Structure 1
Amino acid sequence: MENLATDIELLYKKAEQYSKTSFELLQLNTIDKISDVISSLSVVISISIIVAMFTLFINIGISLYIGKLLNDYAMGFFIISGFYFVLGIIVFIFRKTLIKIPIDNLIVSKFLKSSSNSEKSSN
């Protein structure tokens, strides 16, 4: 009878240790996935800021050039602003297919990639 009690106590301790280890592994996998998503998004945001600055200065140059051709610098800026107004309307209309779906897919693929990597390493 004493042997049975010792075996049950040992089994209980091993089950407790296993559940603690499994929980720690889950926490580490979650942290890894979140950090991967955040780092990927920060790269996209950084590149977007650089492209935005480039676009800003190119557009100022184009506006000044068009203004010089028309002998009215303000008109050059109005033409470029009108172009971006029309572009903004188009992006707003197609915002799901152009912005939302690609970002959703990026986040989901990062989570699934991390999941498949952890599954491969555990096998």
Structure 2
Amino acid sequence: MDTNYEIVETVFKRIENLTSNQTELIKLKLYNKTADLATFLAMKAIIVTVLGLFFLFLNIGLSLWLGEILGKIYYGFFLLAAFYAIAAIFIKTSIYKYLQLQINLMVLTKILKDENL
């Protein structure tokens, strides 16, 4: 009778160790995925910021140059603003859903890189 009790107790201890190890493994995988996603998003934010500053100064220079050609400096800014308004309307009406889907897929692919989680 004692041996049956010891066998059952040993099995329960092994199951307890297995479940605690599995939960620890899942927790570590989750930390790894969170760190990967945070790094990915931080790098994308840095790249977008640098490119945004580049295009900001490029647009200021282009606006000044166009304004000089058109005779009044502010005409260049109005012309570029009109161009960006038309571009924004085009993006919103035609490719907004496509861009949203692609961004969602990119983030989800990054999160679900390892399917064993």
Q: Alignment RMSD, CA only?
A: 1.4
Q: Higher mean Cα deviation, 12-21 or 36-45?
A: 36-45
1:96 aligned partner, one-letter code: K
TM-superposed CA distance for 1:62, in Å, is: 0.6
2:28 and 2:6 map into 1 onto residues whose CA distance is: 33
How many residues are matched? Answer: 116
Contiguous gaps of at least 5 residues in structure 1: 119-123
Q: Tell me the equivalent position of 1:22.
A: 22
Between the aligned residues of both structures, percent identity stands at 28
Q: Tell me the equivalent position of 1:121.
A: none
Q: Normalization by structure 1: what TM-score?
A: 0.87
Q: Deviations over 1:97-116 (max 9, x none)?
A: 12x11211112211232336
Q: Tell me the equivalent position of 1:61.
A: 61
Q: Tell me the equivalent position of 1:89.
A: 89
Once the two structures are superposed, the pairs formed by residues 1-123 of structure 1 within 5 Å of their partners are 1-93=1-93, 94-98=95-99, 100-115=100-115
1:65 and 1:20 map into 2 onto residues whose CA distance is: 67
Q: Higher mean Cα deviation, 31-40 or 44-53?
A: 31-40
